[in-house]
Structures are given as C-alpha cells and as structure tokens.
C-alpha cells in the first residue's frame, strides 16, 4: 500500500516511488529485508538516515500546518 512504482535501476539497486502519507522509508526497508533483500550500510545508511529525517520533518510540518499565519501572510501594520 502506498507504493506507486518499483524499478530495477541496476543489478543491485531498486528505485521505489511511494506516497509518504501511506508508507515510510523505514517500512519499505523492513519489507525489503523480510523479502530477503540486502540493504547496504556505510554511506548508503547515512543517506537513508537523512531521508528518514526529512520524511519525519515533512510529516510533522504537514500535521502542524494550522492557518499558516507566520509564514503565508506578510506581517500586518502595527496600530
């Protein structure tokens, strides 16, 4: 659920397009590991950590959207 497409980009790399509202990279990694795929460590692990950090921020920001008073409107004149 939430996966839009999966492409074999090379002999050892999958390209997965997914909907963040329905699935996260962490969930995709768990599913891939359960299916027997090997996920690289080292630099790849660092890149995935940054991606997960960005996902968490995006979800948090969308959850707190509110009316956008501080960011979406110019300040009004003081009276």
The per-residue pLDDT for range 15-73, each reduced to its tens digit, is 899 998 899 999 999 998 999 988 888 888 899 999 999 999 988 887 776 665 566 65
Backbone torsions φ then ψ of 14, nearest 5 degrees: -105, 140
Model pTM above 0.75 = no
Strand partners, 27: none
H-run or E-run covering 31? helix 25-34
């Amino acid at each position: 659920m939430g996966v839009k497409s999966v492409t074999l980009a090379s002999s050892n790399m999958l390209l997965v397009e997914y909907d963040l509202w329905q699935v996260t990279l962490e969930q995709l990694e768990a599913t891939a590991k359960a299916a027997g795929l090997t996920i690289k460590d080292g630099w790849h692990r660092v890149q995935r950590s940054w991606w997960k950090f960005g996902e968490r921020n995006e979800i948090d920001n969308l959850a707190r959207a509110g009316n956008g008073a501080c960011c979406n409107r110019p300040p009004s004149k003081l009276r």
